[in-house]
Chain A
């Protein structure tokens, strides 16, 4: 009966529709947005946990900064080293829910990939040096005299081809620019080296000729590139086991226990690939996603850049390859144009119609003539660190391959960090391992602790096929003083081939460590256990959840959650005020009815129940519809999936699509919210209603 009274009262007043609408909107919003955020949180958890962080991160409790895996507010964090990693690993892995503790340390290096002229000249210089027996490079060591001669000839041809390109450039410039704008010295220099005579007499003064090329010609090509390489030093074997989303894309994994480097595939593509090829790929991708070159400004820009920036490609080709490329392009484009730059520019004028075919032609016919990547799989990457003391620490690591995390292939956040073995990482930071110390001592005895000067070090760093020098950001711990005496032999292949035992890998310092759990749902419990164990056993580490460890990134979800809560509070706040007012009005209107009920024997409690039932019914009906609609919307979204709007979103979506999942917790919370809102907003009018005197029955309604 009360419900019937409530129901009929509700039907009688149109304002209830407005209130209901508000409750409905609030509930719907809460269910859908809350569900989305939860799903986003889950997806992000999968991304963060599965790519770098693990469930829990450990770092030294003495650190000044908090750990922020994806970068904090102000640059690099100041983390202290964790010195007792083996004990920590052993202790924690005995804990009930801990599956694995993976050691880590991350840093970044600025890679100064010299421009193609520098690199080619450097190569030529090294070949000459090797022939004179002045250079002991592992890659050139075993070549015969004839092989060296052949390589020198080929490299010289390449340099001459480069000069031809420069000469053509200069002619073009002369046609366009006014005379004053052109440096006559440069013109003279280019003219000199383009003559056969220069090359004929080249070896009369090999070093002088090389120097002339290096000083006068190389500076004309200024498109050297700086790349920032972020890397994570870790126990590669454990890492690969624990982060099972990690997949090798090109090459192989680093052999067990060995030093090695794995480049993040996205980084490899974005930064190390020949720009023209990369842009062609991106155009193809965009077309596959339904974007049109004809209408899309970004794609138009790609085409324009591809047409204008062919230098990288042209300079890579020696005379024979230039002729071959010219021939192939003439055939493909049905053109008689003889200039490769012009042909390439025509070729790269891709449209929606011809892109597919040109992409194919590029990879089938042109790509084999050039190096598509600045760093090839199998190359040795030299990464240099200048320590606080100014000394160079450099390590050679072999690039075994590239990797990506399944589902996160396109995410710059997941794909921005490359992987390095822990031994090399420690070397760069100046953390000395036992064998390295031994080796250093030996070296010092051999060389008489000759200090390495920068120039010599760089000489040593360029080797055949190795075009990249990376400078690591300064190590945060002062290197062992003995390291200043490191000779170049340290960086050579003996170390590259060494196999380290598990104990050696774990045996040094690390900056942080990832803890993988058996049961992720018990994260907070295990986190507490770890912290308790750590302080009980004086492990001097701090454990934080992946959310905390991911720095700003971890806050993003919390931020959105905050916004949602505010929005829901706002809507329900308004709903509460309106419900309150409406119920007050309804109560006043019904004074006589309520008075009558009281007069004929209804207790106050009944009046209270009646009014509360009324808004309860209202809340349940509209809240229920809100929940149903919300659930339906979620089911629809789940079936359809939300495509990631951009590359960054891949990380948050943990893949190309977010498949939102509705959690029962959300539904329960929604119900509780509706319940509270209706109860709170009706309580006051309901109490007022109980105060209505039965005397009011006798008075006519106003």
Chain B
């Protein structure tokens, strides 16, 4: 079985005061190993919610979420944390580097949490990844000394340093201009192809979308369809979503 993520009939409800908001209304989804998958959909359609469930930082109200063959509902907080550490890499919309640490230390951080490698091995691994994202010359710099694109590359390096099975990225390009955003997606794609790491990212941007192998279209908390990137882009253009996405970027 190659499914890295398997989601069945997932419902996620949020309590907003007295009313209950259904962010996801029965989502089912399978993601295969090595996919470069985009999640698309209008604002409020539940993209972030879905990624949080896959990323084990939140739990479903109903339904089953399996990540790397494990039913996340059956894991303890501690085990979920370990699952995140060892199986999943995160890339955030606002980069989320630790500002008091150098780039090197930021990338090294997950390895330290893992406590698997010695100092020398860690060093090699971190430097190798920094080189892959083209920032090995800046290893001793602080995040504040970098541009947004550079920071997001460091975040990519951090997400991949533990060799995760799966990397999740919620709108990784939303805080970048489109050129830089594309470079980041290119970087991700390259790594996807080199290492076979599965990527799932959400986006509004059809330019970003078109790099994906497949696109899951969400609307109103439901999966509309799973389409190819080309189909998805065309659909998005026909709905006039592009200008909106452009405006956001």
Contacts and interface: CB of A to CB of B under 8 A. Distances in A.
B101 A599 contact: no
A1 B90 contact: no
A347 B48 CA distance: 105
Contact of B82 (A601, A693, A698): A601
A697 interface: yes
A483 to B, nearest CB: 91
B35 interface: no
Contacts of B159: 600
A322 interface: no
B170 interface: yes
Contact of B92 (A1, A598, A698): A698
Interface in B74-129: 77-78, 81-82, 84-86, 89-90, 92-94, 96, 98-101, 105, 108-110, 112-114
A307 B21 CA distance: 103
A593 B98 contact: yes
B21 to A, nearest CB: 16
Interface residues of A, number: 25
Contacts of A5: 98, 100-101
Interface residues on B, range: 20 to 34
Contacts of A694: 57, 84
Interface in A594-609: 596-604, 606
Interface in B144-168: 158-159
A453 interface: no
A700 interface: yes
B52 interface: yes
A518 interface: no
Nearest to B162: A601
> What secondary structure prevails in chain A residues at the interface with B?
helix
Contacts of B172: none
Contacts of B86: 601
| Residue with the greatest number of chain B CB neighbours at <10 A, chosen from A5, A9, A596 | A596
Contact of A1 (B57, B99, B105): B105
Contacts of B98: 5, 593, 596-597
A697 B90 contact: yes
B182 to A, nearest CB: 23
B55 interface: yes
A695 interface: yes
A25 B228 CA distance: 68
B90 A599 contact: yes
Contact of B101 (A8, A602, A700): A8
Interface in A647-702: 693-695, 697-698, 700-701
B241 interface: no
A602 B94 contact: no
B58 interface: yes
Contact of B84 (A600, A604, A698, A701): A600
Contacts of A596: 90, 92, 96, 98
Contacts of A601: 81-82, 84-86, 110, 113-114
B248 to A, nearest CB: 14
A698 B93 contact: yes
B158 A600 contact: yes
B73 to A, nearest CB: 17
A602 B113 contact: yes
Interface in B32-83: 48, 52, 55, 57-58, 77-78, 81-82
Contacts of B113: 600-602, 606
Contact of B52 (A8, A604, A606, A695): A695
A294 interface: no
A445 B176 CA distance: 126
A12 interface: yes
A695 B57 contact: yes
A393 interface: no
A693 B57 contact: yes
Contacts of B48: 698
Contacts of A597: 98, 109
A695 B58 contact: yes
Q: Most A CB atoms within 10 A — which of B48, B81, B89? A: B81
Given A593-B98, A597-B98, A697-B96, A603 B78 contact: yes
Contacts of B158: 600
A598 B96 contact: no
A5 to B, nearest CB: 6
Contacts of A600: 84-85, 89-90, 109-110, 113, 158-159
A332 to B, nearest CB: 85
A24 B90 CA distance: 42
Report which residue of B58, B86, B94, B170 has the largest number of chain A beta carbons within 10 angstroms of its beta carbon: B94
A252 B102 CA distance: 83
B100 A12 contact: yes
Contacts of B84: 599-601, 694
Contacts of A698: 48, 52, 57, 92-93, 170
Contacts of A604: 77, 81
15 contacts: A5-B101, A8-B100, A9-B100, A592-B94, A599-B57, A600-B109, A600-B113, A600-B159, A601-B86, A601-B113, A604-B81, A694-B57, A697-B92, A698-B170, A700-B93
Given A8-B100, A597-B98, 6 more contacts: A1-B105, A593-B96, A601-B113, A697-B92, A698-B48, A698-B52
List the 6 closest pairs (A to B, CB-CB), nearest first.
Answer: A601-B85, A8-B100, A694-B57, A596-B96, A601-B84, A601-B113
